Amino acid sequence: MNRRDFMKASAMLSAGLVLDPQILVPEHLEQKVLVNIPSYELKLFNYVGNKLNEQFTFMVGVGRGRYWRKPTPITTGQIIDKRPMIHFFFEHDKPERGAKKGEVMYDTWTFDDQGNSLKLPMPYDKMRGLGTLMKMPSGYMNPGYVIHSTSDAFTIGLPCSNGCIRVGIDDMLRLYDLVAPDAKKKGPREQIPLKSPIPLETLYDVVEVKENKLLLHADIYNKEIDYFKEFQTRLVESHIFQSLSHDSVEKIFDLEKVKKEIADSQEQFKDAHKKILLTLIKEFPNNYPDPELKTRLHRTYKLKDFFKPET
């Protein structure tokens, strides 16, 4: 870091504008957030002068959807504010916890990395949120979905929420600092409106082609997507092969093998997804899904494994 950048960062820290000393705010910074629901990935893009400058990826939890509804909307929207402290409330009466509907949760009943049940004070001093407006099919801009911290780290990578996007506590602290880093602080609990809302888009890509790999994800919202057609489309869009068209895909790839792997994957996905949802609806401490089930919501292949033998 040169002297000019150091002085700039120090001044901003003194003014309370940047929480992380490693974050420098470039002039003309523009940001965008993309969330691919089936891959449980949130990506933050930083642009400077219309050029991509940095990219950050965070794993998230998303809305349950399908059997119990409450999906995360697949839409466009905006991040409109930063929330330096968020609270959670009981949705139903919980006699076993001595709590009634609408009361603040002061304890978190969760699990450690080994799946052991824990009861801990809710770490509200570390809980952050990003308020959003998401466009509904009717055109209504819904403020009811928040990107926020969760004390249930075991739910990251799962369809688990009532539609909000969950982020692990440490990741959310980092994301919170990265989003609109020059937003001016108010009180320790007051929402911080963003002068320039950040574009937000939630995607539903169950098939991805990245770095010569094919990634398949579970259709958790039962959209009945044709994986094979998506495979062909993603290949053409990826530009991995020069002048690749839908017709030339057939010449290069063993499509019967692709179809078989897709069919096998879909059976695996359905089984894992059902087991996860049936576990999550149980009462604590019986609501801890086998971590291996998370891995069964995805499959990764090398594209070269689907090439036709050279003749």
- The string of pLDDT tens digits covering residues 59-95 is 999 999 866 679 999 999 999 999 999 999 998 898 8
> Does residue 3 surpass a pLDDT of 80?
no
> Does residue 2 surpass a pLDDT of 50?
no
The Cα-based distances of 150 to 4, 11, 132, 236 in angstroms read 38, 32, 17, 38
Predicted confidence (pLDDT) per residue in 95-134, tens digit: 888 899 999 999 999 999 999 999 999 999 999 999 999 9
Model pTM above 0.75: yes
- Read off the pLDDT of each residue in 302-310 and give the average, rounded to a whole number: 91
Any domain includes 39 = yes
φ and ψ at residue 274, rounded to 5 degrees: -60, -45
Mean pLDDT, the chain, as a whole number? Answer: 89
73 and 138 fall within a common domain: yes
216 and 78 fall within a common domain: no
Question: In the chain, how many domains are there?
Answer: 2
168 and 70 fall within a common domain: yes
Q: What is the pLDDT of residue 25?
A: 66
13 CB-contact burial (10 Å; exposed 0-12 / middle 13-18 / buried 19+): middle
- Domain boundary among the residues 137, 172, 203 is at 203
188 and 215 fall within a common domain: no
Any domain includes 248 = yes
76 and 174 fall within a common domain: yes
Any domain includes 92 = no
- Domain boundary among the residues 179, 203, 227 is at 203
Percent of the chain with pLDDT over 70: 88
Q: What is the pLDDT of residue 23?
A: 52
- Domain boundary among the residues 177, 203, 229 is at 203
* Full residue range of the structural domain in which residue 231 is found: 207-306
Any domain includes 69 = yes
Angstrom distance (rounded) from CA 91 to CA 175: 27
Angstrom distance (rounded) from CA 39 to CA 203: 10
Positive or negative: CA dihedral 35, 130, 185, 192: positive
139 and 254 fall within a common domain: no
Tokens of 229: 């057609």
Determine which of 10-24, 160-174, 294-308 has the lowest per-residue pLDDT on average: 10-24
76 and 10 fall within a common domain: yes
184 and 78 fall within a common domain: yes
Percent of the chain with pLDDT over 90: 77
- Read off the pLDDT of each residue in 34-41 and give the average, rounded to a whole number: 98
> Does residue 237 surpass a pLDDT of 90?
no
